[in-house]
């Protein structure tokens, strides 16, 4: 109530015994991906699932953000490849796991 009064321009916060604590908000913006292409811009044949070889890739990260699993799903027959990332979830590790 005191915070909303202060935000609205009130002076109620001046009569408090203690000052209002400043709240620290943690905002995670994540890495910036340059030249990214939206999923809406993929070819129509991929959406139709008409050919073999179109893969969908995703990562599953655990609760503590320590370990990750890479999943590759072939879109036409739903063939799934799952691999645990050993050393982290960076691009080099994804490339090494994907190329093997």
Domain containing 67: what range?
2-99
pLDDT(96) > 80 = no
CA separation for the pair 83, 71 (Å, rounded): 7
Structural domains of the chain, count: 1
Q: SS3 helix, strand, coil % of the chain, rounded to 5?
A: 25, 20, 55
Q: What value does the CA radius of gyration of the chain take, rounded to a whole number of Å? A: 24
Site of tokens 């009569």: 15
57-87 tens-digit pLDDT: 888 888 888 888 888 899 888 899 898 887 7
27-44 tens-digit pLDDT: 877 777 788 888 888 888
In angstroms, the first-to-last Cα distance of the chain is 58
Secondary structure of residue 53 in the 3-state scheme: coil
CA separation for the pair 20, 88 (Å, rounded): 40
For residue 1, give the H/E element and its range.
Answer: none
CA separation for the pair 74, 57 (Å, rounded): 9
């Amino acid at each position: 109530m005191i915070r909303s009064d202060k935000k609205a321009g009130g002076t109620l916060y001046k009569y408090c015994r203690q000052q209002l604590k400043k709240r620290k908000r943690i905002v995670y913006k994540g890495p910036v991906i340059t030249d990214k292409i939206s999923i809406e811009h993929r070819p129509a044949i991929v959406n139709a699932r008409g050919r073999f070889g179109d893969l969908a890739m995703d990562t599953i990260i655990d609760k503590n953000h320590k370990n990750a699993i890479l999943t590759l799903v072939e879109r036409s027959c739903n063939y799934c490849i799952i691999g645990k990332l050993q050393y982290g979830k960076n691009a080099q590790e994804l490339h090494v796991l994907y190329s093997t």
